[in-house]
Amino acid sequence: MDYQATTPMDPRVLDAMMPYLTAMYGNPHSSTHVYGWQAEAALDIARAQVATMVGAREEEIFFTSGATEANNLALKGIMDVWGKKRPHLVTVATEHKCVLSSAAACARAGYDVTVLPVRPDGLLDLDMLEKSITDRTALVSVMAVNNEIGVVQDLTKVGSLARAKGALFHTDAAQAFGKIALDVDAMQIDLMSISAHKLYGPKGVGALYKRAVPATALTPQMNGGGQERGIRSGTQAPALVAGFGKATEIAGKELNQEAARLGEFMACFKRKLAASLPDLIVNGHETERWTGNLNVSIPGVDGDLLLANIRALALSSGAACASAVSGPSYVLQAIGRNEREARSALRIGIGRFTTMEELDEAANILIDAILEIRGRSV
């Protein structure tokens, strides 16, 4: 029930990885023998699979250790190159922590950073965004699908607004890639961050899509042997990359069917909760959201206490990356939830291997635990 934190690896992905964990163990940078050629071929295949998913060219995909590295590379790398001419970066208050931290690093480096608020439904005010982009803006960074509340931003409009002002558009698509339709040309996306473990692939691998135009020149954040055409040095991991590619291929084939199935499942789950808990508060837009996500605040119930009472369920009260940080979710605070509402929140995520029987059982466990806690407090 916590698919936003990570997804289980699809067995078909593991099958694609196994040859590169055993017999085909070469270094892709070894260009003089068959072991290196085999490993390099794995990268080429995966690069094509990832590029196809978003309508990109193969040479525009650069493998990284994940979306966090890709986000750092995009924001810091672009501002380092273009910050003298256009020293302004625009992002959003509900972005993933790694984007906000990278933006803060850019601010410490002397660049101007605007962090825009969101509406109470979690969506960006596009008029406010348009006014914030000036001829000094180098980069606009807006997340595609929020990792906590699941809302889907209008990337096409964001991309159009950025392009009209001559700014580059970056999106953190870790929670969107392989789940919703993405097209870098139609959405005018110049840079996109991706993570494999959010779409049933292995952890430790992701990618940065970087449009092959001079305007996206950026400073590499890792120095070394010049792998990934000098953008990301370090020996590539063919097994992880092969798994990433296979996961992408599977997601592309099953995207529409999976989204529809999860939408039906989550609607049933939500109705069951609401029938017993009519005061449930849904966090984020009711419909403009990824169908596998539901974030709710439960009045009168402390989220941490609730989680301690439902050990049979794998749920979370917010982003996994922020679990070590005390205090209520900054995403929920950004949409106007008070501290009590934010502390009573649960993030529920379902995915490819979730069954309706599991959801029914989870709903029963959750409802019983909430009613018991409320009964104690009466």
139 contacts 166 by C-beta, under 8 angstroms: no
CA dist., res. 26 & res. 44, Å (int): 14
Q: Which of 76, 86, 72 is nearest to 133 (CA)?
A: 86
DSSP 256-295: HHHHHHHHHHHHHHHHHHHHH-TT-EE-S-SSSB-TTEEE
CA dist., res. 301 & res. 269, Å (int): 19
User: Is 321 one of the annotated active-site residues of the chain?
Assistant: yes
DSSP 68-130: HHHHHHHHHHHHHHHTTTS-EEEEETTS-HHHHHHHHHHHHTT-EEEEE-B-TTS-B-HHHHH
Residue that the structure tokens 């069951």 belong to: 272
Record the tokens describing residue 204, joined without a space: 């430790």
Active site residues per annotation: 321
